[in-house]
């Protein structure tokens, strides 16, 4: 699905829904272009897009979180723990 030999990538969010192969619908689509060192596009993929706040809230509320075919921007378990006042050494359960 994703190239392994890319140099950089760019993401463009589209205001169109995305339906995964498991029939999960996301409000937005992340259009991801992969480029080589000569700035030539070598691959393109579209994924569902979920905002980081929604991910953090689902984890916090112990709701199932299916991230297949999804792009998440700037996920950080440390940021999640800080946001919800959780000790940095504490383990977090993510229900999938």
Per-domain residue ranges of the chain: 8-83
pLDDT at residue 1 is higher than 80:
no
Average pLDDT on 57-63 reads: 96
Q: What is the per-residue pLDDT for 4?
A: 85
Q: List the 70-71 sheet strands across, edge first.
A: 8-14, 28-35, 41-49, 70-71
For residues 33 and 2, the answer to whether their CB atoms sit within 8 Å is no
pLDDT at residue 83 is higher than 80:
yes
Alpha-carbon span 62 to 17, nearest angstrom? 25
Structure tokens that stand for 77 in this block:
């378990």
pLDDT at residue 60 is higher than 90:
yes
Alpha-carbon span 83 to 60, nearest angstrom? 10
Q: What is the per-residue pLDDT for 2?
A: 78
pLDDT band at 87 (very low <50, low <70, confident <90, very high): very high
pTM attached to this predicted model:
0.85
Q: What is the per-residue pLDDT for 75?
A: 95
């Amino acid at each position: 699905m994703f190239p392994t030999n890319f140099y950089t990538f760019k993401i463009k969010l589209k205001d169109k829904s995305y339906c995964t192969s498991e029939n999960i619908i996301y409000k937005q689509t992340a259009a991801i272009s992969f480029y080589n060192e000569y700035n030539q596009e070598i691959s393109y993929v579209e994924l569902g897009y979920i905002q980081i706040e929604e991910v953090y809230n689902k984890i916090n509320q112990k709701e199932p979180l299916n991230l297949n075919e999804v792009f998440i921007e700037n996920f950080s378990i440390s940021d999640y723990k800080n946001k919800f006042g959780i000790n940095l050494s504490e383990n977090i359960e993510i229900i999938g």
